[in-house]
Amino acid sequence: MHYDILLRTILAFFVLLILTRILGKKQLSHLTFFNYITGITFGNIAAELASEKDIKILEGLISLVVWTGLTIIVEFISLKSGRIRRIFNGEPTIIIKKGKIQQQAMSKMRLNLESLLTMLRNCNVFSLTDVDYAIMETDGHLSVLKKPDKQTVIKRDLNIKGGRSILPTEIIVEGKIVKKNLLELNISYQWVYQQIRKAGFNSVNEILYAELENDGRLFIDKYENKTN
């Protein structure tokens, strides 16, 4: 009985190795959501072939080969037709355009502001004011293009000695003041209200996002569907 499991495991291993080589590097890199789902299903079939005694070896092999064949066919058709490729793979979505958050795109992607800020930090971007464009790729990763004046510059090129960096901090997120950040920065509510009034806003509820910059300025991004 143990020999049967051993045989199944060895067979599943080599079949999986061969078929993944046939599928190619694109499948392994999970470039699209379709690739990701295909990879998971492919692995599940191989795992069941190796461990489930109720599944005949021939049936498992047929499932793997058929799944591989269907994946190759879909990829081939996608290469020939841009419309079909968009159906299976989706399209990149612009989340930030010319420094402005695209709220409709975020709603469509079911992406909240906190998640966007986390993804930006993963791209070594700690301030929205640095971003010219941010694009959600088909694999779920965020690509960021910084503004020309925010491109990376080596301090040595400018003869600047290393100094203390101040991290840009969220002050208002989705119409609500972040209290703990005010306490950490020793900033009063009165100062925040003064700044938003100077910017032409009557209420915090009109502001989608505001952050304190390194130079003490308050960057403000308003809601698209709300007027002053």
User: In the chain, where are the structural domains located?
Assistant: 2-88, 93-150, 164-222
Share of the chain above pLDDT 70, in %: 83
What integer pLDDT is reported at residue 65 of this predicted model?
84
What integer pLDDT is reported at residue 164 of this predicted model?
46
What integer pLDDT is reported at residue 197 of this predicted model?
92
> For 164-222, CATH number?
3.30.240.20
Strand ordering across the sheet containing 93-97 = 100-101, 93-97, 131-136, 142-146
What is the chain's mean pLDDT, rounded?
79
Please list the alpha-helical segments (H only) found in the chain.
2-23, 25-29, 33-51, 57-80, 82-89, 103-108, 113-122, 155-158, 179-185, 189-198
Do 164-222 and 93-150 have the same topology in CATH? yes
Encode pLDDT of 196-219 as tens digits.
Answer: 999 999 899 999 999 988 778 889
Encode pLDDT of 146-165 as tens digits.
Answer: 887 776 554 455 454 554 44
State the Cα–Cα distance between residues 104 and 187, nearest whole angstrom: 32
Q: What angle do CA 221, 225, 228 make, to 5 degrees?
A: 65
- Is residue 132's pLDDT more than 70? yes
CATH 3.30.240.20 assigned to domain 93-150? The reply is yes
Dihedral of alpha carbons 116, 120, 121, 125, sign: negative
Question: If we measure between CA atoms, which residue out of 174, 53, 161 comes closest to residue 111?
Answer: 174
- Give residue 174's Cα distance to chain centre: 20
Q: Residue 55 — left, alpha, or beta (φ > 0 → left; ψ -120 to 50 → alpha)? A: beta
Question: For residues 142 and 38, which has the higher predicted lDDT (pLDDT)?
Answer: 142
Kindly report whether the global pTM for this prediction surpasses the value 0.75: no
Share of the chain above pLDDT 90, in %: 16
